[in-house]
Amino acid sequence: MDLYIYYRVAVADATVLRAKVLTMQDNLARLHGIQTALKRRPEAQDGIHTWMEVYLDVAEGFAAELEPAVLASQLADLIDGKRHTEQFLDLSLCA
């Protein structure tokens, strides 16, 4: 399963958020042997960008491992609103 997590962040907080998320993702990738990505919409709206964390081919239960990492990284201080998680299956693996 792949996880896509999106949320809104003030343009002024972009540099700090990017550093925190990349550090968190590097640690998670090392611990869980997964691939990660960090993306952002190119345009800002009212001084806010939409960001997306990507976690590819994660094991069931990975989301439970992710939450403590998010808390430890103090991402909530930089996010405007909630983190939204979407899950997708690789169709080549589905019967």
**Confidence class for position 94, pLDDT limits 50, 70, 90:** low
Distance from chain centroid for Cα 93: 23
Span 29-83, pLDDT tens digits: 999 999 999 999 999 999 999 999 999 999 988 988 899 999 999 999 999 999 9
pTM listed for this prediction: 0.91
**Confidence class for position 93, pLDDT limits 50, 70, 90:** low
User: According to the model, what pLDDT value does residue 8 have?
Assistant: 98
Each domain of the chain, given as residue ranges in start order, spans 2-93
Report d(CA 54, CA 5) in Å as an integer: 7
Q: Does domain 2-93 have CATH number 3.40.50.1860?
A: no
User: According to the model, what pLDDT value does residue 91 have?
Assistant: 79
Whole-number Cα distances in Å, 65 to 8, 11, 91: 22, 28, 24
Q: Output the CA angle 57-58-60, nearest 5 degrees.
A: 130
SS3 12: helix
